[in-house]
Chains A and B, each alone.
Chain A
């Protein structure tokens, strides 16, 4: 373990801005991708449901 304190850890030897931006950007991209897929799945299902119930009950979607 090379970190004396939490602030030392977050400073990353003076490179904190670069290191944390990289990791944060990666995390955000992944979270965003998963959320976008979630919404896409919900939309696709809703549409399909509407198609299956189509004609009889339009409000089901």
Chain B
């Protein structure tokens, strides 16, 4: 397959999924509200001590990003599974992993990108300052696509399985741990004055690795689910 037709099939899927998401914009809005509410619960639970809030900020924001991604995972494949589009996708000549990549990127635009864009505001609530805020945004920008990539594997595995909501959390959250550690670690080390570069490059490595492996594993899981 030529280069351009590969890109065409990916961008076609992305455009379609984004269009569908725009028609049901309330779904995406719910993720954003969920994120804001979860993050706001912590100052209320832990207390408004600024020093404490600054210390827990990277972890809280990253865990909230993880949960937001997790909650939106059922939207990656389930609608297409229910109306039969997914079965068509398995049959088309384009490699399934490419179509999966397109769907995952669309999922990231819908549920990951809002988290990245909103994070400086949430960081300010926790008293993060200039450089740490920048590292937070950068870490989320590198990390949230990885979350979508890994999450798609889980979403494909539990497609149509009873109790899939809890099961997908159980499967996916352990695999999220490295991303959480590196992401929150980048912000923490930049706040400590060490600089977040080491953790950011590890996040980048995770992203590259997941870009190569996850669509392939997701496609295998989808084939198993649909046969």
Q: Within the complex, are A and B direct neighbours (CB within 8 Å)? A: no
